A and B are shown apart, each in its own frame.
Chain A
Amino acid sequence: MSSGYVPGLEGIVASQTAISMVDGENGRLVYQGYVIADLAEQMSFEEVAFLLWEGRLPNRSELDALSLELANHRTLTQAANITLDALPTDTDPMDVLRSVVSVQGVEHRLGKPSVPLAIHATASFPTILARFHRRQSGLDPIQPRADLGHAANYLYMMNGKESSPEVVRALNTYLVLLADHGMNASTFTARVIASTESDLISSLVGAIGALKGPAHGGAPAAVIEQLELIGTADNAERWMRDARKRKVKFMGFGHRVYRVYDPRAKILKEMCRRMNPKFYELATKVEEVALQILHEEHPERPQSTNVEFYSAGVLQAIGLPKGYFTPTFASARVAGWSAHVLEQAAHNRIIRPQSEYIGPEPRKPIPLAERV
């Protein structure tokens, strides 16, 4: 009955989905039938979230209703505020997000995942992050503004002032690009949790925990750190060849699914060119050298730049602190996570795979007093 063990479930189909498709062969990311390049710079995050949840783009009145619902759920519960303020100011913002999303979403009785709950959760992420960022900086929290869109309000609550339309647009595009991505590890975590008929918040909290891992969402800050170590474009080749001898991993390269250039990385790269020329100059050189070295080492492998690499430059240009890169990723992906939970709940079967036992054959235990 059980098939052979495939590490990491690579290539094993774990779900059917109509939410997004990663077409790795052709370098396409598709949301509900739309290719990401057609959505990225034209749609608001709100429209794309609606698309992921409802399967179609909203009309004007539906979009207005969604925007209002989001704006109305930007405040935290008292318990969430107390929890947030009880965490030490040097806590990893991902741990803050995990804990405060958990308390913000507590229930008295088990509720079924629903679109309204998805909206409420999505609305709360920026408030949690901004409040904690302000606290870390010794500043008072800024109340959310209902007249601002999702991206604009996030930056407003972080900085206490409105950002330029260009910066808001950039964050919006980032959020759209990162909103969903097939059966990645955090989305899969959310679906495993949902498959036990648990609640939406439980799925989201689990997904945040998975996104935190450096092999998943935890990488963009590491990209910046590596670029800082390299310092200048002239130094790139020497530093990187040397680093390779020390088995240092190049941050921002390689992906299990894409065999060609990640379509999101392409868009983010162009944004970096416009918005963050200093980063762009260094990053393009590092990219060139990294791809060259990786190709020399493994000519058979399609090594390409992943989304994290140029995400780092865009988020830096937007003015977000490094520690908030992964939590901002979570603020985008919560739209996709909740869409997948809704889909899982609609066609549920508990996700309970098999394991292969590699331990010793059955034997008898020795009583405590006789053990050496």
Chain B
Amino acid sequence: MAEFSPGLEGVVAAETAVSEVDGANGRLIYRGGYLIEDLVPVVSFEEAAYLLWHGELPNESQLDALREQMATARTLNKSARGTLMAMDAATEPMDVLRTVVSAQGASKSLTKPSLDEAIALTAVFPTIVGAARRRGQGKAIVEPRADLGHAANLLWMMHGEEPAPEKVHLVDTYLVLLADHGLNASTFAARVVASTGSDLTSCVVGAIAALKGPAHGGATLAARNMLDKIGSAEDAEKWLREAHARHERFSGFGHRVYRTYDPRAKILREMAKTAAPDLHRTAARTEEVALAILHEAHPERPNATNVDFWASVVLTGAGIPKELFTTVFATSRVSGWTAHVLESLADLRIIRPASRWVGPEPGKKPLQLTKR
């Protein structure tokens, strides 16, 4: 039998045209062949989602049609709303998202994943995230606004006030940057679920479940928590040296695929300067010291800053409360998850790997209960 590579590291599990992480050269390519740094100045989240779904950037009328379709799909259905309101207001927001998406997509009979469904699911995430925030604050839920774009509507539903254009821009850019990233764990989970012929909601719910983990989407919050503990640029060196001595892992550093600086982190680092100047100062010093310590400890390892580190600073600058970071990540990545599921339909084959037996020799006879 084949060799065992823990975590399937280096094992090719899918062919895809949705995105490519070129770790050796520090490039992220979105469908159609666009480098992430070329897209960011040119496209909105809706355009990026269109690109991931269709393989081409939309023209003006195609973009208008997509925006309109998304704006009309922002409302929760009756079961989803009932489910949302039944949950304790202090529920972890990712659990709210997982549950309400499941209820919103509950259906009478199995349907094949479709683009319309992908659009509808993507459109409804800000509604759920906004509602989770409002309820968590003990405030009334804000209804979606059809005249706002995706990023602006997300901020509107969280805060209940007209968002400032520069905050909208920060969120929109973040959403474009995080929309897809090769075969990461949540996308892979979505593709495994899809491979059984299941429905799109099941795929997306499974992906939300995977993104929740601190080793995946939860890492942005962990990075921000670390920066909060460090407190200031002046305290960074002392805190990091002590943490390192306690064998604590630095949040926001290291990635399985990139061998150079993550191109998304580079863009976010630049944005962070103006988005959150104070936190940026702490973060910049933290990065400098952390990379130095990691290099001293493992000179052979390419220990680079990952996207979560600088995303945590930019999202803070955009006015997103840290408890909501992972849900905002999901709000972006759902476009990629659904693009991957739709792509996988063209050649659906159940993903059923093998396992290696490390248990007792088969054939042991069970003892009767009274003799155990």
Contact between A355 and B183 (Cβ–Cβ < 8 Å)? yes
Contact between B206 and A14 (Cβ–Cβ < 8 Å)? no
Chain B residues, Cβ within 8 Å of A8: 195, 349-352
Chain B residues, Cβ within 8 Å of A359: 16-18, 20, 29, 31-33, 55
User: In whole angstroms, what is the CA distance A363 to B35 when docked?
Assistant: 7
Contact between A185 and B210 (Cβ–Cβ < 8 Å)? no
- Known pairs A197-B215, A368-B58. 4 more at Cβ < 8 A? A110-B218, A203-B209, A353-B12, A362-B35
Interface residues of A in 59-101 (CB under 8 A from B): 59-60, 63, 78-79, 82-83, 85-88, 90-92, 95-96, 98-99
Stretch from B152-160, B278-286, B364-372 that touches the partner:
B364-372
Judge if A267 is at the interface, Cβ distance under 8 Å.
no
Q: Which of A58, A90, A357 has the most CB of B within 10 A?
A: A357
Chain B residues, Cβ within 8 Å of A11: 1-2, 353-354
Stretch from A36-44, A147-155, A271-279, A314-322 that touches the partner:
A36-44
Contact between A18 and B360 (Cβ–Cβ < 8 Å)? yes
Contact between A42 and B186 (Cβ–Cβ < 8 Å)? no
Q: List 18 interface pairs A-B (beta carbons < 8 Å), by A numbering.
A: A8-B195, A9-B352, A11-B1, A16-B358, A33-B364, A35-B363, A79-B88, A85-B82, A96-B106, A106-B95, A196-B211, A197-B215, A205-B205, A209-B198, A209-B202, A353-B183, A355-B13, A360-B32
Give which listed residue, B6, B15, B63, contacts A355 with CB less than 8 A.
Answer: B15
Contact between A107 and B95 (Cβ–Cβ < 8 Å)? yes
Taking the closest CB of chain B, its distance from the CB of A254, in whole angstroms, is 11
Contact between A92 and B189 (Cβ–Cβ < 8 Å)? no
Contact between B355 and A99 (Cβ–Cβ < 8 Å)? no
Taking the closest CB of chain B, its distance from the CB of A170, in whole angstroms, is 20
Taking the closest CB of chain B, its distance from the CB of A330, in whole angstroms, is 12
Give which listed residue, A57, A86, A357, contacts B20 with CB less than 8 A.
Answer: A357
Interface residues on A, range: 35 or more
Chain A residues, Cβ within 8 Å of B297: none
Interface residues of B in 82-136 (CB under 8 A from A): 82-83, 85-88, 90-92, 95-96, 98-99, 102-103, 105-110
Judge if A137 is at the interface, Cβ distance under 8 Å.
no
Chain B residues, Cβ within 8 Å of A348: 215
Contact between B12 and A2 (Cβ–Cβ < 8 Å)? yes
Q: Known A16-B355, A35-B363, A57-B366; judge A352-B7 contact (CB<8 A).
A: yes
Judge if A301 is at the interface, Cβ distance under 8 Å.
no
User: In whole angstroms, what is the CA distance A363 to B39 when docked?
Assistant: 10
Chain B residues, Cβ within 8 Å of A218: 110, 196-198
Contact between A2 and B10 (Cβ–Cβ < 8 Å)? yes
Contact between A358 and B15 (Cβ–Cβ < 8 Å)? yes
Contact between A92 and B109 (Cβ–Cβ < 8 Å)? yes
Contact between B256 and A350 (Cβ–Cβ < 8 Å)? yes
Which 9 pairs between the two chains have the least Cβ-Cβ distance?
A213-B196, A196-B213, A86-B82, A209-B202, A18-B359, A33-B360, A202-B209, A206-B206, A359-B17
Contact between A352 and B184 (Cβ–Cβ < 8 Å)? yes
Chain A residues, Cβ within 8 Å of B55: 359
User: In whole angstroms, what is the CA distance A355 to B17 when docked?
Assistant: 9
Judge if A280 is at the interface, Cβ distance under 8 Å.
no
Chain A residues, Cβ within 8 Å of B15: 5, 355-356, 358
User: In whole angstroms, what is the CA distance A276 to B30 when docked?
Assistant: 55
Q: Which of A19, A43, A186, A210 has the most CB of B within 10 A?
A: A210
Q: Which residue of chain B has the shortest Cβ distance to A102 in the bound complex?
A: B99
Interface residues of B (CB under 8 A from A): 1-20, 27, 29, 31-35, 38-39, 42-43, 47, 55, 57-60, 63, 78-79, 81-83, 85-88, 90-92, 95-96, 98-99, 102-103, 105-110, 182-186, 188-189, 192-199, 201-203, 205-206, 208-218, 256-257, 347-367, 369-370, 372
Judge if A193 is at the interface, Cβ distance under 8 Å.
yes
Contact between B354 and A350 (Cβ–Cβ < 8 Å)? no
Q: Mark A27-62, 1 if CB is under 8 A from B, else 0.
A: 010101111001100110001000000010111100
Contact between A197 and B214 (Cβ–Cβ < 8 Å)? yes
Contact between A355 and B2 (Cβ–Cβ < 8 Å)? no
Chain A residues, Cβ within 8 Å of B208: 202
User: In whole angstroms, what is the CA distance A357 to B17 when docked?
Assistant: 6
User: In whole angstroms, what is the CA distance A199 to B216 when docked?
Assistant: 13
Contact between B33 and A350 (Cβ–Cβ < 8 Å)? no
Judge if A245 is at the interface, Cβ distance under 8 Å.
no
Chain B residues, Cβ within 8 Å of A16: 4, 355-358
User: In whole angstroms, what is the CA distance A2 to B31 when docked?
Assistant: 21
User: In whole angstroms, what is the CA distance A88 to B107 when docked?
Assistant: 9
Chain A residues, Cβ within 8 Å of B92: 106-110
Q: Known A11-B2, A363-B33; judge A188-B12 contact (CB<8 A).
A: no
Give which listed residue, A3, A79, A205, A208, contacts B12 with CB less than 8 A.
Answer: A3
User: In whole angstroms, what is the CA distance A309 to B366 when docked?
Assistant: 28
User: In whole angstroms, what is the CA distance A211 to B197 when docked?
Assistant: 9
Judge if A346 is at the interface, Cβ distance under 8 Å.
no
Chain B residues, Cβ within 8 Å of A372: 59
Contact between B192 and A210 (Cβ–Cβ < 8 Å)? yes
Contact between A356 and B14 (Cβ–Cβ < 8 Å)? yes
Contact between B12 and A82 (Cβ–Cβ < 8 Å)? no
Contact between B216 and A350 (Cβ–Cβ < 8 Å)? yes
Judge if A334 is at the interface, Cβ distance under 8 Å.
no
Interface residues of A in 217-250 (CB under 8 A from B): 217-218
Judge if A295 is at the interface, Cβ distance under 8 Å.
no
Contact between A185 and B209 (Cβ–Cβ < 8 Å)? no
Interface residues of A in 258-290 (CB under 8 A from B): none
Judge if A183 is at the interface, Cβ distance under 8 Å.
yes
Q: Known A12-B353, A16-B358, A108-B90; judge A99-B99 contact (CB<8 A).
A: yes
Q: Mark A175-219, 1 if CB is under 8 A from B, else 0.
A: 000000011111011001111111101110111111111111110
Q: Which residue of chain A has the shortest Cβ distance to B55 in the bound complex?
A: A359
Q: Known A196-B215, A352-B188; judge A60-B31 contact (CB<8 A).
A: no
Chain B residues, Cβ within 8 Å of A350: 7, 185, 215-216, 256
Contact between B7 and A195 (Cβ–Cβ < 8 Å)? yes
Judge if A10 is at the interface, Cβ distance under 8 Å.
yes
Q: Which residue of chain B has the shortest Cβ distance to A87 in the bound complex?
A: B79
